[in-house]
Structure formats: C-alpha cells, structure tokens
Amino acid sequence: MSQLDSLWKKGKDFLGSEVPIIAGAMTWISDSSFVSAVSNAGAFGCLAAGNMEPARLKDEIRRTRDLTDRPFAVNLITIAPNYRELLDIAVRSGVPFVVFGGSFPRKPEIRKAKENGAKVMAFAPTESLAEHLIQSGVDALILEGSEAGGHIGPVSLSILLQQVLFKVDRVPVFVAGGIATGAYMAHLLLMGAAGIQMGTYFVLTEECGVHPRFKEAFIRAQARDAVATPSVGSELKVVAVRALRNKGLDAFLELQVDLIQQRKRKEISHEEAQHCVEKFWVGALRRAVVDGDLETGSLMSGQSVGLVNRVLPLREALDLLIGEAGKELDKVRERMGTTS
C-alpha cells in the first residue's frame, strides 16, 4: 500500500468512493448530471437541494441513481423554507448520505436520516460544536474555512485545523476552503484529514454544466478577486458570501440598506428580510451560472480561483491532484530523511 493509500483509507472507506475527494454542493450546478459524473469519475458527488421544490428533489435523486451506481449525498440547507419537506424526500428516497449545511441540524433530524439508512455529515466551525454534533449522532464532520466560495463562516481553514482537526478523532473529518492542488491535499491528509472537499476546482471541468462565460470568469480571476460580502449593520445577521467582485455585489449592499430601513419602519419582519436576502442570492446565482450574466449575477467562488486556469475532464482533474499529492509526499520523505 502506498503512503497516499494509507493516508486516505479512512476517508475512502467512509465514502465508498475511489478517492475521498468531495465535490461540494453548489446551487444551480450540483444537479444529477454533474453529481453522477463526479461519482462515476471516482470522487464523491453531492446534490444541492437548496430551495428546490420537493418534487424536483425527488426527481433529481431518481435521475442520479439512473446515471450512477456509486455513492452520493444530498446536501440539505437547514434554513431553507422547505427544509423539512426536503429532508422527508431525502430519507424516504433512501439516499446513502445526507449532508446538513446552513446551520446545525437538530438531534431528531440526524436520527431521522440515520434511521433510514443514511450516513450523516455536518459542518463544524468550532471544537465545542464538533463535539455537540458527534454526540448528536453525526458520522463525519466537514471543516470549511472562510477561503471557500458561496456562504461562508468567519474563520479560516488554518484556524479550524487547529481548533478541530487536531483535537477530534472519533469520526472522519473532511476539510474544505482554498484547496486546489494535490500538494496541499497531501499535507492536509498528513495532518489527519480523512479527505477534502472542493467546489471552485470542479467548476473548471468539462462535465460541469455552467455557462461558458462563468468558466471564463474563473480562468481570468485572481485570488484577491474573490471577496466576502460585508454586512451593513447587525440587524439582518447576514451570512457572508464569497464571490467575484462585480455589480451584483454592489446591488447586495444596496439591498441590505433598503431592508434595514424597511425593518426600522416596521414594514417587514426579520424573517421576511432574511427571505429577501436568500431570494436575492438564488436569483443572482442563477443569472450567472445559467445565463452567463457576469455583471449582475453572483459569481460565487472561493479564493482558490486564483490557482485554477484551465478546463479539464473530470478524470484528468482528479488524476492531476493524485499525481501532485504523490510527488509532494516524496518530497516530504526526502526532507525527513526517509525513503519509505
């Protein structure tokens, strides 16, 4: 067994995939076609339930099963308006994995998924919450640093590794945020990660069905172009979103100001304001991903966009990571004065 095989065995065994590399769920991107292609290539795909209608999620799960016999997950956003209906659809469909995102799943929701045969994964931003999730029954954790794209937390991956990865060994821990090279993956595995999750990297694959202009924007972008949205005041409790800077980001700032004023005039409730925020992002992301609107659409991207500059077939993109990881492990052995 090679060193790489040994390092990621725990992750492979847990996911049941050829490599423990998860393609993170991305709204309007991670549909049945893309997810099945990821899993068929040997990685691990995640359907993005987002704000889907329940009937559509049921159909997407069926289509994914028609296209692959390999494991995949359904990613559920716990703060979505129809979250409970989507959870019901996922568990009744007998999906092999459920990934809870957005906020923290309640213990009965975790139990419901597990009782229907699913392995459960959830995001953990601190050691205490990691322990809480483990005690609640999750089977694996995902640490996602603020370098990632889309909705992000406030803490970088380098801190999360020290807060959680180095202290938690009761369940597999996968890591995400700013990863785009096999060399970095190798070091994360050496640190104890069971595997990695990537999003931005997989957008630049032939099998990813986003608009060609969306991919072109990623190829041109530098790491510094992927910025986190600032929060205007504290009234809305807006979760930051990382995306490429454009007019869409400016429009979001204007939306926040308008919503805060409406709240002060008591014209809308806090829940209605939050729904307006999420509706904005869903629509803006669709304009970019589906229509190729690079001006007013949301170009959600991680800072790793500065490390990717060409479109590859999925299998070739995975082979590139694996090859880089093997070479980096050879370098590590040389630095340590070992040859085996």
Under 8 Å between Cβ of 180 and 148: no
Q: Would you say residue 297 has pLDDT above 60?
A: yes
- pLDDT, residue 340, reads 55
Computed over every residue of the chain, the mean pLDDT equals 93
Selected residue with higher pLDDT from 263 and 202:
202
Q: 122-155: b or e for each residue (b if 16 or more CB lie within 10 Å)?
A: bbbbebebbeebbebbbbbbbbbbbbbbbbbbeb
**CATH class given for the domain over 3-210+307-333:** alpha beta
Mean pLDDT of 90-118: 94
Q: Would you say residue 73 has pLDDT above 60?
A: yes
Domain with CATH 3.20.20.70 in the chain: 3-210+307-333
Mean pLDDT of 320-339: 92
- pLDDT, residue 266, reads 87
Under 8 Å between Cβ of 122 and 131: no
Under 8 Å between Cβ of 108 and 132: no
Cα(180)–Cα(202) distance, rounded to whole angstroms?
9
Q: Which two tokens stand for residue 259?
A: 């919503």
- State the pLDDT confidence band at 63, using cuts at 50, 70 and 90: very high
Percentage of the chain exceeding pLDDT 70: 99
Q: Which two tokens stand for residue 94?
A: 């007998």
